[in-house]
Amino acid sequence: MKAIYHRRVHGFAVFVFFWTILLLIAGALVTSNEAALSVPDWPTSYGTFTPPMVGGIVYEHSHRVIAGVLGILLIVEAIVIWRREERRWLRWFALAAVGGVVAQAILGGEVVIKLLHYWLPVLHACFAEIMFGAILCLAVFTSKWWTDSHEMLQDRGGISIHSLAILNAVVMFIQVFLGAGFRHQYAPIWPHIVGAFVVLGVMIWTAAVLRRRFDSSRELTFGRTLLHSMVGTQILLGGAAYWSRLVTQDAPQPMPAMVVLTVVHTVFGALVFASSILVVLMCYRLVPRRGTVAVPSRPQAAIE
C-alpha cells in the first residue's frame, strides 16, 4: 500500500528535530562550562524542579528541562503517528524512539549519580547522536519527498552505494566517539585528529562514487555537496575549537571564546553525522538494492 503524506504530522516531526538541536546546544554548554556536576542529584535538582538558577545550575537544569520537553514531544509524535500513519513499521519506529529517549534520560542520570565515571559521559554523548539520527529519520519518513514516487536509479560498479553510505556514517559516528572521549578527558586528542583525516577520506570516496554513478540525480547531487560542505566546515571548526583551548588553558574558568567555539564544533559535529544519515536514507529511497526490482507506485494526494 502506498504511503500517504500527512502535512501536519511531518511539520510536527520537523519541529521535534529542531528542538533536539536546541537540546544538543544545551548539553554542549554544560560540558563546555564545566557544569556537569553543578547539580548533584537526579531527576530533581537540589530536591526540586525549580532550583535557584545561578552558576552552573543554569546550564545543567536548563539541559534537563529541555530534555524533558523533548521526551514529551516524542511521546506526542508517537501517538500522532500511531493515529494517522498506515505504515506499521513507522509506528514501531516512533515507539522505539520514545524508548530511546527514556534510556538516554536514565543514562544521563547515571552520569550524575556515578560522578562522571566509567566512560558514562562519553556513552551519554554518543547515544545522543544515535537519538538525533532517529529523530531525523522520523522527519524524513513522514516527508512528502519520502512518500512520493521516484524514478529508481541503477547502481553499477564495485561496492554498492548502500554499503558505502553506511560505511561513511559509521566512520563519522566513530569520530563522534573519539571526540567525546577527548572532550570528557577520557582519551588524548591524537585519535580524534587521525579520525578527522579518515572521515575526510571516506567522505571524498563516497561523494566521488555518488558523482560518478548518479550525477543526474538532483537529490544525490545535493547529498554529496552537503557532505563536502559539512565535513570541510567541521574540520575548520575543530581546528578553531582546539586552538581556543590551547590559548585559554591557563584561564581560571572557561573563557567565552572557547565555550562558543567548542559548542559550535560539538553541535555541528552532530549535524555532520545527521547529514551522513540523510545520505543513507536518500540512497535507500532512490536506489534499489542489488538483486531487487523496484516497482514505482502511483502518487497519492497529501492529507492535511
* Co-location of 1 and 145 in the same domain: yes
Task: Choose one of 119, 149, 179: the last residue of a domain.
Answer: 149
How does DSSP classify residue 53? -
Give 271-300 as a DSSP string: HHHHHHHHHHHHHHHHSPPTT----PPPP-
Give the model's pLDDT for residue 302: 54
pLDDT class for 301, splitting at 50, 70, 90? very low
Most confidently modeled range among 105-109, 147-151, 233-237, 246-250: 233-237
Q: What is the dihedral of CA 41, 47, 53, 56, to 10 degrees?
A: -10
Q: What residues contact 221, with CB distance under 8 A and at least 6 apart? A: 210, 211, 214, 215
Task: Choose one of 101, 121, 149: the last residue of a domain.
Answer: 149
Give the model's pLDDT for residue 298: 46
Measured CA distances, 226 to 34, 150, 204, 207, 290 (Å): 33, 21, 12, 9, 25
* Co-location of 5 and 117 in the same domain: yes
* Co-location of 140 and 154 in the same domain: no
* Co-location of 82 and 193 in the same domain: no
* Co-location of 93 and 188 in the same domain: no
pLDDT tens for 172-187 read 999 999 999 998 889 9
Measured CA distances, 206 to 48, 173, 209, 221, 298 (Å): 50, 15, 5, 12, 31
* Co-location of 144 and 166 in the same domain: no
Calculate mean pLDDT across residues 151-178. Answer: 93
Q: Scan for cell 494517522, then name that residue.
A: 84
Q: Residue 20 belongs to what domain range?
A: 1-149
Give the model's pLDDT for residue 299: 45
H or E element: which one contains 262? helix 256-286
pLDDT class for 304, splitting at 50, 70, 90? low
How does DSSP classify residue 36? T
pLDDT above 90 covers a percentage of the chain that reads: 72
pLDDT tens for 4-35 read 899 999 999 999 999 999 999 999 999 999 88
Give 88-110 as a DSSP string: HHHHHHHHHHHHHHHHHHHHHHH
Q: Return the CA Rg of the chain.
A: 21
pLDDT tens for 95-145 read 999 999 999 999 988 888 887 777 899 999 999 999 999 999 999 999 999
Q: Scan for cell 580524534, then name that residue.
A: 192
pLDDT tens for 229-239 read 999 999 999 99
pTM check: above 0.85: yes
* Co-location of 144 and 156 in the same domain: no
pLDDT class for 290, splitting at 50, 70, 90? low
Long-range CB pairs of 225-231 (<8 Å, 24+ gap) are 226/275, 226/278, 226/279, 227/168, 227/203, 227/275, 227/276, 227/279, 228/203, 230/268, 230/271, 230/272, 230/275, 231/199, 231/200, 231/203, 231/272
Looking at the structure of the chain, the number of domains it has is 2
For 242, the 3-state DSSP assignment is helix
* Co-location of 195 and 247 in the same domain: yes
- pLDDT surpasses 80 at 48: yes
